Each structure stands twice: as C-alpha cells, then as structure tokens.
C-alpha cells in the first residue's frame, strides 16, 4: 500500500493540467507528460479549420496559488483554479493528497465560448470488495473520501460527469463518440516511466449538443480513465479531463484557439517543487493513518472475539489496564 501512495505523489500533479511543462522542470517525466498533452490536443482538435480569426493574447496566472500561467485572449476571463480538499470535510484522505485543478477560461461571463479543465479525482469500485458485496457502501456513498462508483469506460464517465459539469443544461444528446486508444497507450507509457504497477487505461472523446440559458451549444469532452487494478483494490481515477464549447456550428472555428491555449500553459517551477514535497508528506500521513486504522480494527476484532468467547478479561492496548468483566473492578 505504501508503494502505491508514493506512486500517487509522483504522478498526481502531472495529469491535473493540460500543459507544456518540459522547459520549466527539466525532468524526463515532465517531458513525456508534455508530449502526452500534445497528443491530447492533436486528437481533440483534429478537425480544426485553417481560417480561424486572430487574437491578441495576455498571460494569465492561475489565480489561487500561481501554479501556472497560460496565454488567453486579452478580453477573456477565468474562473476557478487550484483547490484543496479537507480530508475531514471530504470524508477521507484519498483525494486530499494532491492539488485539484478546476479551471475555466471563457470569452464572457456566460461562458458562451470556453475551455474547462476538470480535476483528477479518485473513485472506488466496491463490486469486488467484501464490504461492497454486503451492501455497506452503495453507489454514490463515500469511502475514504472517494465517491463509490463502478469502473466505467472513458465515454461512460463523460456521460456520468456531464450533469455535474453542466447542471443547467437540457436536451443533452451525444452527437459523436470515439475511443482514443493511442491516448490511452500514451498515458500508460508516461506512468510506466516511474513504475509499472499493472494499471490499465481507457480514453475517449465525446461530442455533445445541449441547451443552456436559451442557447444551443456544442461541446467536446476528453477523458482518460486509469484503473489501478489489484494495486488499488478497486480504486480508479479520471485523468486529462477537459472540454471545449461554443455555440452550435461555431466550435470548429475556435479549435485552433483552444489548441494554442493548451499548448501555452507553463507550470510555475517553484510551486511544482513545493507541491511534490507536500504530497510526499501528505501521502506519508495517509499511510500512517491507514496503518493505525488497521491496527485499531485488529484490536476491535480481538475485543469482540473475547466477548463472544466469554473471556473474563479484555486487554486495553491504549491505557494498559485490564477490566475484570465478572467482578466489575479494576485490577
């Protein structure tokens, strides 16, 4: 388990931003990550038109932690950024180790034209666990800070996530759906630069149409799903998840602009170094917490077994005294 949590630290920050980071870090792994992001852009914007309009750009810092900067049209606005999940409020630590990026770059306040980067989140598939088979953690419940949800394909995940991404949308329908095996293989290759733990990957792009606030929109969603397999014992995660949207019939005209934005992103090296260091610390705390939970669970089992067997004394490992269950006094 500890080996896995250290793995989380090594890769967690790499998939949260569709960004070109090679020049900022000098790391071979980041170089590979930048190459993968280029693949994402190439696949998502394969149908871009050559007659796109020109824009004057400005550098825009991620507002919350200055974790990266990106070129956007000078009259565009941003919303969101890096956020942190409190493990206490979130019901567990699984999604509290890494920074989460939920970031929107949009042409106007209504987001009639926009690019949305979604946070990488861990989920848990309970179908193969004893607790799940006993019905203790139904779909939608919380398990150690993760939403319980059966492992989907990348395309299925996009359909599941859409109502949360666009809660005011109506008349949603999928226009086109395509698997991206090359992107899935690229994500797998990138992660194997650190360690090969037998994870499997699926990727897809889905084009949808819907109505929102009286307007008809077209939006493309891209997602990679990483299944942690035996190492994660049911855990899975969305990666490289983003979308681009525009009024129906206008999306292709904006695709060169979205591609330019994605390729311009530059990570703040100082932030990155601090984030990696902090993730190691948080992963260590989580590992110790899980071990303590396991230890306490063992003590509880011993105590329960002692009661069932009618034992006269129960050893309390915390305060080191014994209770005489029959005499009712302390020894």
At 157 the pLDDT is: 97
As a whole number of angstroms, the distance between CA 288 and CA 194 comes to: 23
Q: Considering the domain boundaries, does residue 307 fall inside one? A: no
Distance CA 252, CA 218 (A): 10
Question: For residue 235, which of 97, 328, 112 has the smallest C-alpha distance?
Answer: 97
Residue of 227, 219, 251, 66 lying closest to 154 (CA atoms): 227
Q: Is 76 part of any domain?
A: yes
Q: Say yes or no to pLDDT of 180 above 50.
A: yes
Residues 251 and 220: beta-carbon distance below 8 Å: yes
Domain that includes residue 194, residue range: 2-288
Considering the domain boundaries, does residue 327 fall inside one? no
Residue 115 tokens read as 């690019």
Do strands 122-124 and 146-148 pair parallel, antiparallel, or not at all (unpaired)?
Answer: parallel
Q: Tell me the average pLDDT across 1-29.
A: 39
Three-class SS state of 40: helix
Q: How far from 34 is each of 92, 242, 266, CA to CA, in Å?
A: 31, 16, 10
Dihedral sign, CA of 142, 143, 144, 146?
Answer: negative
List Cβ neighbours of 57 (8 Å cut-off, separation of 6 or more).
71, 72, 73, 74, 260, 264
How many domains is the chain partitioned into structurally? 1
- What DSSP string runs through 251-311? HHHHHHHHHHHHHH-EE-HHHHHHHHHHHHHHHHHHHHHHHHHHHHHHHHHHHHHHHHTT-
Q: Which band of pLDDT confidence, cut at 50, 70 and 90, is reported for residue 30?
A: very low
Asked whether the predicted pLDDT for residue 113 surpasses 90, the reply is yes
- Token pair recorded at residue 274: 């601090």
pLDDT at 320: 37
Residue 105 lies in a domain: yes
Residue 299 lies in a domain: no
Nearest to 171 by CA among 207, 208, 211: 211
With respect to residue 297, please indicate whether it lies within any of the assigned structural domains: no
In the structure, what pLDDT confidence band is assigned to residue 93 with cuts at 50, 70 and 90? confident
* Residue 16 to residue 64: CA distance in whole angstroms: 15
pLDDT of residue 287: 55
Residue 329 belongs to some domain of the structure? no
Look at residue 261 in the predicted model and tell me its pLDDT.
94
**Residue 315 is assigned to a structural domain of this protein:** no
pLDDT classification of 148: cutoffs 50, 70, 90: very high
Of 40-49, 51-60, 306-315, give the lowest mean pLDDT range: 306-315
Cα distances from 197 to residues 7, 128, 187, in angstroms, run: 9, 19, 13
Distance, in Å, from the CA atom of 318 to the CA atom of 300, rounded to the nearest integer, reads: 12
Residues 219 and 244: beta-carbon distance below 8 Å: yes
The listed range with the strongest mean pLDDT (136-145, 149-158, 288-297) is 149-158
Residues 6+ apart with CB under 8 A from 297: none
Output b/e per residue, 21-39; b: 16+ Cβ within 10 A. bbebbeeebbbbbbebbbb
pLDDT digits (tens, 9 = 90+) for 263-287: 999 999 999 888 888 888 877 655 5
| Residue 268, CA distances (Å) to 170, 176, 271, 297 in order | 38, 36, 5, 42
């Amino acid at each position: 388990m500890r080996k896995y949590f250290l793995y989380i630290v090594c890769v967690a920050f790499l998939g949260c931003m569709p960004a070109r980071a090679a020049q900022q870090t000098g790391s071979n792994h980041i170089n590979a990550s930048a190459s993968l992001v280029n693949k994402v852009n190439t696949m998502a914007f394969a149908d871009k038109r050559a007659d796109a309009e020109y824009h004057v750009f400005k550098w825009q810092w991620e507002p919350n932690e200055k974790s990266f900067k990106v070129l956007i049209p000078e009259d565009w606005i941003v919303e969101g950024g890096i956020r942190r999940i409190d493990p206490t409020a979130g019901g567990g630590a699984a999604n509290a180790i890494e920074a989460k990026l939920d970031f929107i770059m949009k042409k106007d306040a209504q987001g009639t034209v926009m690019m949305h980067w979604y946070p990488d989140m861990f989920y848990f598939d309970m179908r193969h666990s004893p607790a799940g088979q006993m019905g203790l953690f139904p779909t939608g419940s919380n398990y150690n800070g993760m939403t319980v949800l059966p492992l989907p394909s990348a395309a299925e995940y996009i359909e599941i996530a859409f109502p949360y991404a666009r809660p005011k949308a109506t008349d949603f329908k999928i226009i086109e759906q395509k698997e991206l095996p090359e992107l899935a293989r690229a994500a797998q290759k990138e992660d194997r630069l650190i360690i090969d733990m037998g994870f499997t990957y699926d990727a897809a792009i889905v084009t949808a149409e819907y109505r929102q606030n009286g307007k008809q929109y077209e939006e493309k969603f891209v997602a990679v799903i990483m299944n942690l397999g035996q190492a994660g014992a049911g855990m899975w995660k969305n990666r490289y998840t983003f979308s681009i949207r525009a009024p129906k019939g206008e999306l292709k005209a904006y695709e060169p602009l979205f591609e330019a934005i994605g390729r311009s992103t530059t990570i703040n090296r100082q932030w990155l170094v601090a984030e990696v260091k902090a993730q190691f610390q948080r992963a260590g705390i989580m590992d110790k917490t899980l071990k303590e939970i396991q230890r306490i669970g063992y003590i509880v089992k011993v105590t329960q077994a002692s009661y069932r067997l009618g034992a006269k004394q129960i050893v309390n490992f915390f305060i080191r005294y014994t209770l005489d269950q029959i005499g009712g006094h302390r020894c």
